[in-house]
């Protein structure tokens, strides 16, 4: 039964079909349940006054199952993946234009950045795993373009997990999107050098942070918070970061957050000359950096919980000697998600897809792996398993 509801009457558990009265032009990504009060606050911030709900799909707030039902990770579907792909590709196109404008000395137009980061935020609020899944199928030769997009996605997911206000998330996302724009000023032979940089080369590489700050300062409409988070992404708590050797309490929570997101993406991304680490290895490195007082240890722990031990879209090797793609996280039992098995490690060939709930069987995850370890193409795997139908 379809019923009109004033926003003041909306509660967790209602199934919203569409917006029917608002002051602006905000649109829902898709119909769905209200999973938290943060979603209602977000609708209020968009000046939504009245919505249409399907009362037959309402999950009663008094039900003991409500919280677990709404909080449980759901499998991402074809529509969400396609939307995430579109947002990701649009973000890369915008990033390319930003680099071109910065290289030519032209003024940066912030409006497309704001538009696409808001699309990302909306998608993440609706389905946080879909954009994260896209980060696992990036092109090896497009790291420069995709890194800033990825860091923007990660800091949005992280901020949502920490319960930050929407306006703060928007500014952090924009700052992350712009944080490496100064890299376009670094000579290509240094920027893409496959081996270790010499001391002189690393000195030149570090100037990208200063270039980013200068470019962002000259960009009309950039908030102080967006500039702050971009400026702090290479600073460390022990004061040995760059470009200004900011340390300790002088590094804000937001600066500490982007440092974690930036390092995590650098560790996990596969490039032409370097294979990325599996998530578990990257998490271990983050924890070690926290022990060395480079990163905030509490925020590192929160980030790991936020991303998940085995994120949706990541590859794992099972005790049955099969490779599987994580389909759906299990928040109550994080080490036993739902997976799609598809490949025999022992026989080195593809198998018929099998959906497995690891929490309800004897099979278990041995370790997280990378597609490259088995000469497999991650994008083809994703398309085969998650984009069927």
DSSP string, 360-375: GSS--EEEEE-GGGGT
Range of lowest pLDDT (66-70, 178-182, 280-284): 66-70
CA angle, 283 then 288 then 289, to 5°: 95
Phi, psi of 320 (to 5 degrees): -80, 10
- What domains can you pick out in the chain, each with its CATH number? 2-71 (no CATH), 78-307 (1.10.3210.10), 315-386 (no CATH)
Written as one string, the DSSP assignment of 78-110 is HHHHHHHHHHHHHHHHHHHHHHHHHHHTPPP--
CB count within 10 Å of CB 32 equals 17
286 and 266 Cβ atoms separated by less than 8 Å: no
Question: Could you tell me which residue, 223 or 19, shows the higher pLDDT?
Answer: 223
Rounded CA separation 28/10 (Å): 15
Phi, psi of 204 (to 5 degrees): -70, -40
Tell me the C-alpha to C-alpha distance, in Å, between residue 153 and each of 88, 127, 258, 287: 9, 12, 11, 21
Percent of the chain past pLDDT 90, that is, above it, reads: 55
pLDDT in tens, 177-225: 999 999 999 999 999 898 889 999 999 999 999 999 999 999 999 999 9
Question: Pick from 88, 81, 134, 177: which is nearest to 311 by CA?
Answer: 134
If you average pLDDT over every residue of the chain, what do you get?
87
pLDDT of the residue at 252: 97
pLDDT of the residue at 389: 42
Rounded CA separation 77/122 (Å): 16
Phi, psi of 145 (to 5 degrees): -70, -45
pLDDT of the residue at 132: 79
pLDDT of the residue at 118: 96
Q: How far apart are the first and last CA of the chain?
A: 29
Tell me the C-alpha to C-alpha distance, in Å, between residue 22 and each of 26, 27, 49, 51: 8, 10, 5, 9
265 and 147 Cβ atoms separated by less than 8 Å: yes
Range of lowest pLDDT (178-192, 226-240, 328-342, 362-376): 328-342
Q: Which residue has the tokens 């470019």?
A: 215
pTM over 0.85: no
Helix (H) or strand (E) holding 122: helix 111-126
pLDDT in tens, 87-130: 999 999 999 999 999 999 999 999 999 999 999 999 998 877 77
Phi, psi of 232 (to 5 degrees): -95, 0
Rounded CA separation 207/290 (Å): 25
Rounded CA separation 28/16 (Å): 9
Query: Any idea how long the chain is?
Result: 389
Question: Could you tell me which residue, 134 or 371, shows the higher pLDDT?
Answer: 371
Partner residues linked to 19 by β-bridges: 51
- 7 Cβ contact list (under 8 Å, min separation 6): 40, 43, 44, 48, 49, 50, 51
Going by pLDDT thresholds of 50, 70 and 90, the confidence category of residue 385 is low
Tell me the C-alpha to C-alpha distance, in Å, between residue 182 and each of 171, 205, 273: 19, 10, 22
Rounded CA separation 77/17 (Å): 18
């Amino acid at each position: 039964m379809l019923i009109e509801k004033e926003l003041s009457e909306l509660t967790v558990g209602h199934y919203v079909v569409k917006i029917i009265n608002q002051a602006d032009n905000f649109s829902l990504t898709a119909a769905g349940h209200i999973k938290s009060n943060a979603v209602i606050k977000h609708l209020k911030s968009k000046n939504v006054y009245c919505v249409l709900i399907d009362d037959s799909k309402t999950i009663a707030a008094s039900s003991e199952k409500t919280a677990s039902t709404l909080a449980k990770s759901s499998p991402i579907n074809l529509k969400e993946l396609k939307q995430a792909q579109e947002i990701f590709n649009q973000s890369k196109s915008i990033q390319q234009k930003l680099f071109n404008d910065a290289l030519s000395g032209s003024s940066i137009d912030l409006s497309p950045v704001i538009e696409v980061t808001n699309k990302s935020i909306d998608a993440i609020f609706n389905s946080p795993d879909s954009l994260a899944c896209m980060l696992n199928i990036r092109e090896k030769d497009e790291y420069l373009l995709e890194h800033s997009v990825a860091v923007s996605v990660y800091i949005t997911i992280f901020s949502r997990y920490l319960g930050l206000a929407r306006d703060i998330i928007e500014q952090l996302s924009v700052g992350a999107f712009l944080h490496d724009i100064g890299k376009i000023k670094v000579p290509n032979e240094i920027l893409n050098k496959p081996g270790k940089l010499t001391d002189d080369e690393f000195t030149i590489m570090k100037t990208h942070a200063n270039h980013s700050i200068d470019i962002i300062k000259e960009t009309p409409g950039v908030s102080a918070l967006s500039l702050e988070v971009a400026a702090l992404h290479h600073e460390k708590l022990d004061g040995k970061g760059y470009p200004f050797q900011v340390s300790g309490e002088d590094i804000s929570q937001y600066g500490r957050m982007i440092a974690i997101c930036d390092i995590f993406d650098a560790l996990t991304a596969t490039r032409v000359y370097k294979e990325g680490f599996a998530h578990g290895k990257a998490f271990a490195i983050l924890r070690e950096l926290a022990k060395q007082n480079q990163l905030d240890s509490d925020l590192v722990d929160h980030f790991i919980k936020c991303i998940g031990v085995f994120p949706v879209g990541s590859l794992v090797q099972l005790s049955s000697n099969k490779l599987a793609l994580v389909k759906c996280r299990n928040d109550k039992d994080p080490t036993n998600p739902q997976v799609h098995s598809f490949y025999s490690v022992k026989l080195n060939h593809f198998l018929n897809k099998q959906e497995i709930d690891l929490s309800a069987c004897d099979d278990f995850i041995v370790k997280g792996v990378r597609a490259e370890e088995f000469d497999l193409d991650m994008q083809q795997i994703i398309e085969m398993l998650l984009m069927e139908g």
